[in-house]
Chain A
Amino acid sequence: MNKTVLYTVLLIVAAIAPFLFPAYGTQLATLWLMIIVALTWDLTGGQMGYNSLGNIFFYGTGMYVAAIVTISLVYNVADYTDAAGGGTFKFTWAQYFAGMALGSLAAGLFCAVCAVIIGFITFGLRGPYFAIGTLGVAIAAGELVSNWDWVGGGQGIALPVYPGDLDQGKIVFYFLFAGLGIGIFLFLKWLYGTRFGLAMNAIRDDEDKAEGMGLHTLRYKLTAWAMAAFFVGIAGAISAFQLIHFEPLETAYQTINLGIFMVVCVLLGGKGTLWGPVVGAIVFHVFKEVTWNYFLGWQWVALGALIVITVVYFQEGLMGWLMRMRPEWFGLTVDESGKVEAAE
């Protein structure tokens, strides 16, 4: 009952937020993006113990796939990128939204396939080796794309501007991100309650044991990463339309920004919990924006300090801390007799 009230209130807040704070429309949309990448990172990082530093690869790839699909529906991609944002390439309403819908879907599917292919190789690595291996994939992809003229090389791609009132556009993008975020949350809530959730936790706790019990560990790992990639790819696609112009190293494959932020969000909020990534993303995003606005020049120092403090002193995160302080809220550590020895 309490939960229903809580969820309803949160949904209403999410629905009216862009109208209450019209000046922060894009900020709030970015907050949803942080929640999306944090939730999907936690799917493999928190629930399964595979800390990927390469999930940003799917974000960038999603951007490019969506852009290429949208452009190629109407024009020749090479001509379009040759013009580098100049020229007269017009998109109608229908072309714009058809491109966005098809492009997002294609981005998600393409990224999921990429995750299976890359995962087939990198899931042989464990622990920090997996993290470094996936980071390598993301960095290499950024460098390769920035030297690929067909997709605009280092200059990136400029997509058509939202065909309509720009303030209205901000709200549209807010609801696209919010809808995706809520959809992912509900999907994960369901997923963690199925056998899949337990299998991922088992792999996290002791993968050798899970293998020894006959679990199809590689099948679970590939599927989990493919699902994360699917959602991040779609998020990247929406970002591409929201940002209008993006380039490979700083925007699409931004390993040191969003690629790290998503990990910090999850650590801050609590790994391996459903709400942890959401709470962490909100706290992190507010912290980041406040320091960017009021401590300009020191913002990276503040962010670095936050990361160091989280990693060194607060690994359990906010939700982990709450679970330790209030285990009964989560139905844990209930010993019903306290005399198991006597039961012998």
Chain B
Amino acid sequence: MSNIIEVTGVSKNFGGVVANHDISLKVKKGAITGLIGPNGSGKTTLFNSIVGFHPIDEGSITFEGQEISKLQVQQIARLGLLRTFQQTRIYGKMNCVENMLISIPHRRAEFMDMFASHSKADREKALSLLEFVGLYEKRKLLGGDLSFGQQKLLEFAMALMNEPSVLMLDEPTAGINPTLINGLIDRLKKANEQFDITLFVIEHNMRVIMNLADQIYCLAHGELLAEGTPEEIQNDSRVIDAYLGAH
């Protein structure tokens, strides 16, 4: 399998705080890659760097072989590299269907496409994806009126609507009712297999990430601590130390 994202020697400082130092990792095409680490270890910073949310200080990031570290957020999103947010972000004053309809891919949007009406195909796709995440009955509610967990599901459905080649999920199960987590894991796996979307997932819930990921990277203090299969990570004493706070 080829690498769809390659991060090489990326560093990012905020003032005197070293958020990421010399991080290199690879996301394999078609796989599910996990990113774990204690709070403040630089996971979200790395995500923000990859999607172009802020410039990086050093290093290189490529997506499908193309250097993207100098591109803007929108350009990277249009290449097919999408992320969801830790603090869920949906369009609060629009209903679920509208949230979905505006999330169509804008890859080849021409000027006149701005005035296009919503095609039947788009509507059907929106409804079937809402069905897929279990929000079909709520489709006429405003996004902002959904519960936090439902908003997470809506954001996930919006991301699928955009037909990305890579989806980066920042803590997809945080704030979700434990009884729903198994359903979410199934859906993530389905999105990966059926829709052929490469997943790159930040997750604190060890049970979830061990179930989900093919390959896991562990960050601590802004540096790459360990990498390996779920079994290797589970048995890595450095990872255990990092989580339990032994130094």
The judgment on whether A and B are partners is yes
Chain A interface residues toward B at CB < 8 A = 191, 193-196, 198-199, 201-202, 204-206, 208-217, 219-220, 223, 272, 331-341, 343-344
A195 touching B114, Cβ below 8 Å: yes
Q: Chain B 167-202 against A: per-residue CB contact (8 Å), 1 yes, 0 no?
A: 000000000010110010000000000000000000
| Bound Cα distance from A208 to B92, whole angstroms | 13
Q: Beyond A209-B89, A214-B105, A344-B179, list 9 extra A-B contacts (CB 8 Å).
A: A194-B116, A211-B72, A212-B73, A213-B106, A214-B74, A216-B74, A216-B106, A216-B109, A335-B138
Q: How distant is A267 from chain B, measured CB to nearest CB, in Å?
A: 16
Contact B140 A332 (CB under 8 A): yes
- Contacts known (A223-B114, A334-B141, A344-B183); A206 close to B77, Cβ less than 8 A: no
Q: A212-B82, A213-B82, A215-B102 are in contact. Are A202 and B150 (CB under 8 A)?
A: no
Bound together, the chains give a CA A191 to CA B117 distance in angstroms of: 9
Q: Find chain A residues with CB under 8 A from B91 CB.
A: 201-202, 205-206, 209-210
Please state if A206 and B74 are interface contacts (CB–CB under 8 Å). no
Interface residues of B, Cβ cutoff 8 Å to A: 51, 72-74, 77-78, 82-83, 85, 89-95, 98, 101-103, 105-107, 109, 111, 113-118, 134-135, 137-138, 140-143, 145, 150, 158, 162, 177, 179-180, 183
Distance in angstroms from B72 CB to nearest chain A CB is 8
The reply to whether B78 and A220 form a contact with Cβ atoms under 8 Å apart is no
A-B contact pairs, 22 of them (CB 8 A): A194-B114, A199-B102, A199-B114, A201-B94, A201-B102, A205-B91, A206-B91, A209-B89, A212-B82, A213-B82, A214-B74, A214-B105, A214-B106, A214-B107, A216-B109, A217-B74, A333-B140, A333-B145, A336-B137, A337-B137, A338-B137, A340-B138
Q: How far is the CA of A202 from the CA of B170 in the complex (A)?
A: 21
The 8 lowest CB-CB distance pairs between A and B, nearest first, are A214-B77, A205-B91, A337-B137, A198-B102, A209-B89, A214-B78, A334-B140, A214-B106
For B98, list chain A residues within 8 Å (CB): 198, 201
User: Min CB distance, B243 to chain A, in Å?
Assistant: 30
Complex alpha-carbon distance, A340 and B150, angstroms: 9
A211 pairs with B74, CB closer than 8 A: yes
B93 lies within 8 A of A213 (CB):
no
Whether A333 lies near B141 (C-beta < 8 A) is: yes
**A213 contacts B118, CB within 8 Å?**
no
A198 with B137: in contact, given A193-B117, A206-B89 (CB under 8 Å)?
A: no
Contact, CB under 8 Å: B106 / A202: no
Q: Are B77 and A211 in contact (CB under 8 A)?
A: yes
Cβ-closest chain B residue relative to A191: B115
A211 to B54, CA, bound (A): 13
Pairwise interchain contact A214-B162, C-beta atoms closer than 8 A: yes
**B140 touching A205 by the CB < 8 A rule?**
no
User: In the assembled complex, which residues on chain A have CB atoms less than 8 Å from the CB atom of B179?
Assistant: 344
Contacts of A220 in B (CB 8 A): 114
Residues of A within 8 A of B51 (CB): 212
Cα–Cα distance between A336 and B143 once the two chains are bound (Å): 15
Q: Give the CA-CA distance A334 to B141 in the complex, in Å.
A: 6
Closest beta carbon of chain B to A202's beta carbon, Å: 5
With both chains docked as a complex, state the minimum distance between the C-beta of A319 and any C-beta of chain B, in angstroms: 13
When A193-B117, A209-B90, A211-B73 are in contact, do A340 and B140 touch as well, CB less than 8 Å?
A: no
